[in-house]
Structure 1
Amino acid sequence: MAGRNHLYIPGPTNVPSEILNAMHVNMEDHRSPVFPELLTPLLQDLKKIFKTEAGQAFIFPATGTAGWEIALTNALNPGDKVLIYRFGQFSHLWAEMAKRLGFIVEIHEETWGKGIPLDKLEARLKEDPKHEIKAVLATHNETATGVTSDIGGVRRAMDEANHPALLFVDGVSSIASIDFRMDEWGVDGAISGSQKGFMLPAGGTFLAFSQKALKATENSTYPRCFLDLKDQMTANQNGYTPYTPSLPILYGLRKSLEMLLEEGLEHVFARHHRLAEGTRKAVFAWGLKLCAQPGFESDTVSAVVVPENKDAREVISTAFSRYDISLGAGLSEVAGKVFRIGHLGDMNDVSMLGALAGVEMALLDNGFNIKPGSGVAAAMEYYRSTAK
């Protein structure tokens, strides 16, 4: 088929040509005297994305999943209790990881389509006067269901309960796309990945730890080696890494940060919100609904529920085979029940309209009772009325 595959999944996202060009570099000596000129500014500028002045940023040649493990194993001890609300595949996987690593995991089930229930969290923490819970694991943006939780609200609930637990946040599909305020929200460990809002290939996990979390690393006895933050801190203070870094990721990150900061984070967040709103208007114009319940809608991915007599996998297959569009599949409990439209990273109004047109054609091909052009028209009117 002529043209290229159009990527509308919630990660990996499209990589801009500027970043691809920046990553096309000859290999160099990562122990050279000039290497700190690359790494040190990257760590400082990452703090701007996390919105932290007090915290410390880290770069690992890994993925967001490794970021989960870094947070757990560097600041906690074997057998510590952690609390997590499970409301999608990625919160589920983080909980399963914690269990496999030997932590006591207190899992609270929530409806897939909702986020973290702040009232329930506050009440549960108040029931823990001995502070046996050492960390709250919060999934900021549940990619599987298109749900965003209120992390500022999580911090308020913890403060109202006067609970000292660490707050670790999975921001893999939110940071650099959705407003994130590490210092203001009292986040102790923020985790992100290269392949979402940073518009890079997979292969980098970016983290930030608060001073409270860094202090906790001094008392952690959990066995670790490659994922040890102490090794990173020792090497980073001189502008180096404890092992061979991924140079293309670092050079790509340099360009990514320049692009994000040049656009301005508030403008980045506003752009993602507009793209998401247009998508939601298209979905409702088709007579369909979101998996996310009102108030929890994500600005980076929309999980669209299909009628019970339809299979979302057929929509995804048709979109790919006929129109060269990649959509996200439903995962685990929502497999076959939803398809996901990613609207994050290097996208604008026109690219989003292309995605919606492809989805609409796939829906029509699979016998959905929708009016041709209805979704695209709804999104188009919204984008036109809100364009600046």
Structure 2
Amino acid sequence: MQGQNPVFIPGPTNIPDRLRHAMNMQTLDHRAPDFVDLLTPVRAGLKKVLKTETAEVVTFPGSGTGGWEAAVSNTLSPGDTVLAARYGMFSHRWIELCQRLGLTVQVIETPWGEGAPADRIEEALAADKGHAIKAVLATHNETATGVRSDIAAVRRAMDAAGHPAMLYVDGVSSIASMDFRMDEWGVDLAVTGSQKGFMLYTGMAIVGVSRKALQAMETAACPRAYFDFRDMIGANAKGGYPYTPPLQLLFGLGESLKMLLDEEGLDAVFARHHRMAEGVRRAVAAWGMKLCANRPELCSDTVSAIYVPEGFKSDALVNHAFRTYGMSFGVGLGEMAGRAFRIGHLGSLTPSMALSGIATVEMAMADLNYPITLGAGVAAAQDYYRTTAGVPQQKAA
């Protein structure tokens, strides 16, 4: 029976029945006067998730990549220089997007398994005496390597350099699952999507836009039409949308925000993700394997990327788990292709569900003669989950 197992890819994530039911609705008139009653609380809830009191939040029909393009095209001009570190597939793709939009990208090459190098960012900005660099791009959670970057440290580096560049952050696989502090960290553009921590279908790009970014929007010259912040913000202010909105996703987002903010609470959401992730990390250690994240403080609470032993191919493991046991795990991307697989542990998951993924991938490894002891990873995760049940979890800021 297919479709009954949870997925363990780092997004799209499992969708709770409650949210599927919320999105299972008849067509409504988005030009009707009561559309504002749907849109206004959704926008207010998104600001709470981003932890901002001052930013505008805009939503576009699209994926996180659409959010990237919106952030860049609304606030920069062709020929502008941006500074970006490349330390995984998604930081790489953001760099490529900027180049295709006609920007000059000053790239800081960084080993995969590391996060955004705040010290080197500070050096590059300090050397930019003419302030040619208009923006710094950082990926908060590198989905390809399971690495979380310290965005607060990036902001401190920018301030130490005395540089006026804006800070753009990709939070697609972190926001609504891991703590994100837009105002405190001085983030100017924060990008995420509906299909990860918000536990919905793919199709909604969400962008937080600071006051400084709104000012930059007035002089930015990159072409934009569909993703124009001005059209969206203007229509939202009147309680509408500049074109047909994805109503089903807006209803789903409203229900998701109730679950995250009003019922579970953000602190509990973050603690749950930390606990699930730590159980997976205990299992990896019991298998005698290594995470792609080079140090414990870099470990993501939403996805673990795991090196397979020498002589094994990670794609074969992922394919075997799917074909034999009907369960999906993430393949290795970019430099990790064939060398690592990924266990996504975000969104609508519990430690008990996480155990099913640990047990299944462990069976697949045993089938393929990996040098593991069957049950070792499950036992390690069980021991952690059992002894931490009901215990408040500590989370990195």
Provide the TM-score with structure 1 as the length reference: 0.99
- 2:343 corresponds in structure 1 to 341
Taking the aligned partners of 1:93 and 1:308, their CA distance within structure 2 comes to 28
Taking the aligned partners of 1:348 and 1:59, their CA distance within structure 2 comes to 28
Taking the aligned partners of 2:389 and 2:201, their CA distance within structure 1 comes to 30
Q: 1:309 to 1:55 in 2, by over 3 A?
A: same
Taking the aligned partners of 2:4 and 2:383, their CA distance within structure 1 comes to 27
- 1:48 corresponds in structure 2 to 48
Determine whether 1:67 maps to 2:67.
yes
Instruction: Give the SS at the match of 1:13.
Output: coil
CA contact (8 A) 1:6 1:324 kept: no
Taking the aligned partners of 1:182 and 1:340, their CA distance within structure 2 comes to 28
- 1:374 corresponds in structure 2 to 376
Determine whether 1:11 maps to 2:5.
no
Instruction: Give the SS at the match of 1:99.
Output: helix
Instruction: Give the SS at the match of 1:327.
Output: coil
- 1:100 corresponds in structure 2 to 100
Taking the aligned partners of 1:7 and 1:23, their CA distance within structure 2 comes to 20
* Paired residue type of 2:276: L
* Paired residue type of 2:279: G
Determine whether 1:283 maps to 2:287.
no
CA contact (8 A) 1:56 1:208 kept: yes
Taking the aligned partners of 1:94 and 1:223, their CA distance within structure 2 comes to 17
- 1:264 corresponds in structure 2 to 265
Of residues 165-174 and 218-227 in structure 1, the stretch that sits farther from structure 2 once superposed is 218-227
Taking the aligned partners of 2:121 and 2:106, their CA distance within structure 1 comes to 12
Q: 1:22 to 1:94 in 2, by over 3 A?
A: same
Structure 2: tracts of 5 or more residues without a match: 391-397
- 2:255 corresponds in structure 1 to 255
1:2 positional shift: 5.9
Determine whether 1:359 maps to 2:357.
no
1:49 positional shift: 0.5
CA contact (8 A) 2:315 2:331 kept: yes
1:332 positional shift: 1.6
CA contact (8 A) 2:6 2:353 kept: no
Taking the aligned partners of 1:278 and 1:6, their CA distance within structure 2 comes to 17
Taking the aligned partners of 2:96 and 2:301, their CA distance within structure 1 comes to 26
* Paired residue type of 2:143: T
Taking the aligned partners of 1:46 and 1:10, their CA distance within structure 2 comes to 21
Instruction: Give the SS at the match of 1:329.
Output: coil
Q: 1:146 to 1:40 in 2, by over 3 A?
A: same
- 2:294 corresponds in structure 1 to 293
Q: 1:279 to 1:104 in 2, by over 3 A?
A: same
| Identical positions, percent | 56
Taking the aligned partners of 1:296 and 1:277, their CA distance within structure 2 comes to 13
Taking the aligned partners of 1:305 and 1:85, their CA distance within structure 2 comes to 23
Taking the aligned partners of 1:225 and 1:117, their CA distance within structure 2 comes to 34
CA contact (8 A) 2:2 2:326 kept: no
CA contact (8 A) 2:7 2:13 kept: yes
Taking the aligned partners of 1:275 and 1:293, their CA distance within structure 2 comes to 20
* Paired residue type of 1:357: A
- 2:330 corresponds in structure 1 to 328
Q: CA RMSD in A?
A: 0.8
Determine whether 1:143 maps to 2:127.
no
Residues 64-143 of structure 1 aligned to structure 2 (within 5 Å): 64-143=64-143
Taking the aligned partners of 2:51 and 2:100, their CA distance within structure 1 comes to 32
Taking the aligned partners of 1:240 and 1:277, their CA distance within structure 2 comes to 43
Taking the aligned partners of 1:3 and 1:141, their CA distance within structure 2 comes to 28
Structure 1: tracts of 5 or more residues without a match: none
- 2:395 corresponds in structure 1 to none
* Paired residue type of 1:209: V
CA contact (8 A) 1:60 1:205 kept: yes
Taking the aligned partners of 1:125 and 1:222, their CA distance within structure 2 comes to 23
Taking the aligned partners of 2:233 and 2:30, their CA distance within structure 1 comes to 16
Provide the TM-score with structure 2 as the length reference: 0.97
* Paired residue type of 1:252: G
- The Cα offsets for residues 77-97 of structure 1, whole Å up to 9 and x where unpaired, read as 111000100011100000001
Instruction: Give the SS at the match of 1:7.
Output: coil
Taking the aligned partners of 1:161 and 1:3, their CA distance within structure 2 comes to 52
Of residues 346-355 and 214-223 in structure 1, the stretch that sits farther from structure 2 once superposed is 214-223
CA contact (8 A) 1:81 1:105 kept: yes
Determine whether 1:36 maps to 2:36.
yes
* Paired residue type of 2:384: Y
Taking the aligned partners of 2:373 and 2:238, their CA distance within structure 1 comes to 61
Which ranges of 4 or more aligned residues in structure 1 deviate by more than 4 Å?
none
Instruction: Give the SS at the match of 1:213.
Output: helix
* Paired residue type of 2:61: P
Taking the aligned partners of 2:45 and 2:333, their CA distance within structure 1 comes to 34
Instruction: Give the SS at the match of 2:329.
Output: strand
What is the aligned length? 388
Instruction: Give the SS at the match of 1:8.
Output: coil
Taking the aligned partners of 1:346 and 1:230, their CA distance within structure 2 comes to 34
Taking the aligned partners of 1:186 and 1:119, their CA distance within structure 2 comes to 17
- 1:155 corresponds in structure 2 to 155
1:3 positional shift: 6.2
* Paired residue type of 2:293: A
Instruction: Give the SS at the match of 1:325.
Output: coil
